[in-house]
Structure 1
Amino acid sequence: MIKVWLSSDPATCIEGGLEVIPAEINDPDVISWIEIQSDDDQLLEKALRQLQCHPLAISDTLRLRHPPKIEYFEKQIYILYRGVKEAKGNLLFDHQQISFFISERCLITVSRGHSQGLALVKQGKSFAQLLQSPLNLACTAMHFSSRIYLDEVLQFDSVLGELEDELLSAGSDQTLVSLTAYKSRILKLIRTFNYHQRITRVLEKDDGTLMQIDANSFHIINDLNERFERLFSLSSMHYDICGDLIDGYLSITSHQLNNTMRVLTVVTAVFVPLSFLAGLYGMNFDVMPELHFKYGYYLLLGIMACTAVSLVYFFKKKKWF
């Protein structure tokens, strides 16, 4: 699917297909947004070549998995962005790769299916005005997409609080499994947000080599950069909290295990000399001391009882038990 939006002034916006209005796209007085949604690599490559996109940028666009990046070409700024196709909750996202080809008068976006960020831009009240600047339009699309990330990350605060309370009150291995899964998901988000931060930082440092960045564009880029910095810092904080909770749970479990082993060790230490005495007098020899002593049984029981009591008293005095 290929859609085109054309505008010659903020009050005018024409929507159509690439095959219907090809002439207006090259008009220097017209600003256009060409949105391409397709899973067909041949169709994507053919359309992008017709639109005179750089071959290296086309190659990166056709790759199914590629880290987000920004690259400057002779007539275009190429941004590869990792957007959101669907937010499934609990920090699970169906990610979507979106390519932005930004020039002075034209924005080309390529995605393999519906994009929530691009859809939100088209639904916005200021769409016709945004269409006057391809760079602003691209940054706004990324900003809308980042809002989806931000909403999910902020909602995770309450989930993390519940996990912390559960861990402190009645921690279980299932809680540990959940925390480990969340930590893995957050790590993936941190990598994505770090790439996105690099993109906005490059745009912030742009000296107007390819296109002039006016005050409005600078504010939009700065706002987008702050959004990604916030997402990165929040995700890093949640990652550290998950790690601390996991370490805390393991420490508590280890401490409980140590207490259990200490009790078992004391019990074993108490019964070892008793077992020794029982084994000693249980040996089958014809001649043994006190074998025929009338009160030998009671004497041995008394010695064993005194030994056990003495050991228990000693362990309690040392606070080992």
Structure 2
Amino acid sequence: MRYDDVIANIDNDYAPAGKDACWLHFTKASKTDLERLLRTISVHPLAKQRLLYGTDIPMVDEYERCLFISLFIVRPQLQITKIRMIATEQYMISYAEENDPLIEQVKEKLVHHREHASHPGYVLYYFLDVSALRFLQVIDDIADRIQSLEKQVFKTPFANEIGRNIYRWKIQIHELRQIAEAQEEMMKMLQHTKFPHIHAETNPYMQDIVGRFSRITAALDTFKETLSGIFDLQLSLKSDHMNVIMKTLTLVSVIFMPMTFIAGVYGMNFEAMPELKWKYGYVYALLLMTTIGISVALYFKKKGWWGETDTKEK
């Protein structure tokens, strides 16, 4: 039988127990070949069903003589690719709805380590290894974007787009956090499985992958806290700016308050007000109001309430 998507066919020298072992990869275009293959090998029906139709979360299930693994791969654009696998003693069967560069990366690793290719557990490890590296690259990219967002807050603190970007990032990070946590638990289960060629042979490698995903989940938690801090920072900057505006308006109103008082007094027009008969009363009132206004402004300046935001209150 010929399969168009056969990626690796291992030499007999490396096959376990004198048998051939191979990794077969299928896509949606070759799904018919996959169904034909599954009818010829002894695999649990539920594992076959999950391989063909998928799951909603990353998971691992152990059946008689096989393992089912559902792996979620994160792309740089934060798109999710699902790769489903069945591992037996002689086969590593993987399936994805569409092509992904991850397959070539795993193949390249196996080419350089052909002694590992005879063990389905090692093939699985390389899948997990590449997926963890992909996730770490995405983490680095998210960190750079969040840092740019933080700088933007100081440049344009009143841009409403910043708040919307923070909200979108928090949603995406929450989704990534769920995937990373589920895959971390999945890998911890793989450490303790007793399936041949996975537990004893690859357990140290699985521990390394678990450690990577622990760092990934911790980084995503930190990103959520950082985004909340950026949002609070923007609100604080807006509040500070509003306080400056209110302070300026208050100072202006206080300066004009004595002027309004003087104008009100001399606007009463009582006959017994001698100042109303002064030849220079109008000029005197204007000079008085101007002098009081300037004096109040200079007092505010001296106290550091006006135009000197860094001056300490005396």
Which TM-score applies when normalising by structure 1?
0.73
Amino acid at match of 1:108: I
Rounded Cα–Cα distance in structure 2 between residues aligned with 1:156 and 1:37: 30
Aligned residues between the structures: 298
Q: Is 1:118 aligned with 2:108?
A: no
Rounded Cα–Cα distance in structure 1 between residues aligned with 2:35 and 2:252: 76
- Equivalent position of 1:17 in the other structure: none
Q: Is 1:83 aligned with 2:94?
A: no
The 8 Å contact of residues 70 and 78 in structure 1, kept in 2 or not, is answered as yes
When you count helix as a share of all residues, which structure comes out higher? 2
- Equivalent position of 2:255 in the other structure: 270
- Equivalent position of 2:175 in the other structure: 188
Q: Is 1:142 aligned with 2:128?
A: yes
The 8 Å contact of residues 271 and 308 in structure 1, kept in 2 or not, is answered as yes
Q: CA deviation at 1:273?
A: 4.6
Instruction: Select 2:84's aligned residue among 99, 124, 127.
Output: 99
- Equivalent position of 1:204 in the other structure: 191
Secondary structure in 2 matching 1:78: strand
The 8 Å contact of residues 290 and 296 in structure 1, kept in 2 or not, is answered as no
Q: CA deviation at 1:166?
A: 5.4
Q: Is 1:131 aligned with 2:117?
A: yes
1:36-78 CA-to-partner distances (Å, cap 9, x unmatched) read 2117988866765665544544554555771211222233222
Rounded Cα–Cα distance in structure 2 between residues aligned with 1:181 and 1:120: 31
Q: Is 1:68 aligned with 2:58?
A: yes
The 8 Å contact of residues 55 and 70 in structure 2, kept in 1 or not, is answered as no
Q: Is 1:293 aligned with 2:277?
A: yes
Secondary structure in 2 matching 1:130: coil
The 8 Å contact of residues 200 and 221 in structure 1, kept in 2 or not, is answered as yes
1:156-209 CA-to-partner distances (Å, cap 9, x unmatched) read 5555555555555x3453666655554544333322211111111111233x2x
Secondary structure in 1 matching 2:98: coil
Q: CA deviation at 1:133?
A: 1.4
Rounded Cα–Cα distance in structure 2 between residues aligned with 1:153 and 1:73: 34
Moved more, 230-239 or 220-229: 230-239
Q: Is 1:254 aligned with 2:246?
A: no
Which TM-score applies when normalising by structure 2?
0.75
- Equivalent position of 2:312 in the other structure: none
Rounded Cα–Cα distance in structure 2 between residues aligned with 1:288 and 1:76: 111
Q: CA deviation at 1:272?
A: 4.0
Moved more, 118-127 or 151-160: 151-160
Amino acid at match of 2:58: P
- Equivalent position of 1:15 in the other structure: none
- Equivalent position of 2:5 in the other structure: 3
Amino acid at match of 1:7: I
Moved more, 226-235 or 54-63: 54-63
Percent same amino acid at aligned positions? 21
Secondary structure in 1 matching 2:104: helix
Alignment gaps of 5+ in structure 2 = 307-314
- 1:316/1:46 Cα in 2 relative to 1: closer, same or farther (>3 Å)? farther
- 1:293/1:53 Cα in 2 relative to 1: closer, same or farther (>3 Å)? farther
The 8 Å contact of residues 67 and 88 in structure 2, kept in 1 or not, is answered as yes
Secondary structure in 2 matching 1:211: coil
- 1:95/1:48 Cα in 2 relative to 1: closer, same or farther (>3 Å)? farther
Q: CA deviation at 1:221?
A: 1.0
Rounded Cα–Cα distance in structure 2 between residues aligned with 1:60 and 1:277: 88
Amino acid at match of 2:173: I
Alignment gaps of 5+ in structure 1 = 13-26
Rounded Cα–Cα distance in structure 2 between residues aligned with 1:110 and 1:46: 14
Q: CA deviation at 1:213?
A: 4.0
The 8 Å contact of residues 83 and 115 in structure 1, kept in 2 or not, is answered as no
The 8 Å contact of residues 86 and 92 in structure 2, kept in 1 or not, is answered as yes
